[in-house]
Chains A and B, each alone.
Chain A
Amino acid sequence: MDVDKVFKALADSTRRRLLDSLRAQGGQTLGELCASLDMTRQAVSQHLGRLEDANLVATTRRGREKLHYLNPVPIHEIHARWIEKFERQHLDALRELKRSAEGERHGKA
């Protein structure tokens, strides 16, 4: 895995929105992603290319359609590199605390 590519791909809010959309609904076509993000085909296609190149998006073909999926494996590798298993429950507790303290304002950045 090329870690630089993963971080560069993630360092863009549009690409993170694309991943959010694929997490909510896997298997979307380019057309569906354009519609849900209200962006042009060309822009979405370029961003998807970067995400695919970083292996954050996996694709499969169904007839003539190309379906896109969030591929969390590289993110898991980053997670495994720096986060020990025993730390996970503390981190989950902190995340819950942050979420409840921030209430509705907790958003995606």
Chain B
Amino acid sequence: MEKPEFVYVTYISSSPEKVWKALIDAEMTTKYWQHLNVSDWKPGSRWEHRSADKDATLRLVGKIVESSPPRRLVLTWAFPADEKREEKHSRVTFVIEEVSGVVRLTVTHDRLEPGSEMLRGITDGWPKVLSSLKSLLEVGRPLPKLW
């Protein structure tokens, strides 16, 4: 078994269903991520991550590897230029669990290329995205401009 590069955990006072929806709903992701996550979220389908401005620039693409709502979502994760080169795809696993009345969301990001632009981007990105998601679900307000 390989060793993941990053494991991020946040505890959110919410329900697994709401956290799941927040990960896959374009309108919700626009609020806290300032990007739209778009897919039908079925295993084998494509997903897209687009900027939430009028250009809707495609920033990331990948495939749905596993989808078990509202517990577990596994995606591949790549720059659009690398969409056809699967060896360049990294992998993201979201696990949603209930722990003493709150939701524990664990994000594992692995298969990253050492020293890559993707590696640098996500190191800065995930803590922001997760803090903003938590704030939106708990207080109804995301963090201001992340990027």
Contact = CB atoms under 8 A, between A and B. Distances in A.
A73 B3 contact: no
Contacts of A85: 144-145
Interface of B is mostly: mixed
A1 B138 CA distance: 11
A71 B9 contact: yes
Contacts, number: 55
A26 interface: yes
B6 A69 contact: yes
A63 B139 CA distance: 38
B98 to A, nearest CB: 16
B1 A26 contact: no
Interface of B: 1, 3-11, 106, 108, 126-128, 130-131, 134-135, 143-145
Interface of A: 1, 26-27, 55, 58-60, 62-63, 67, 69, 71-73, 75-77, 80, 84-85
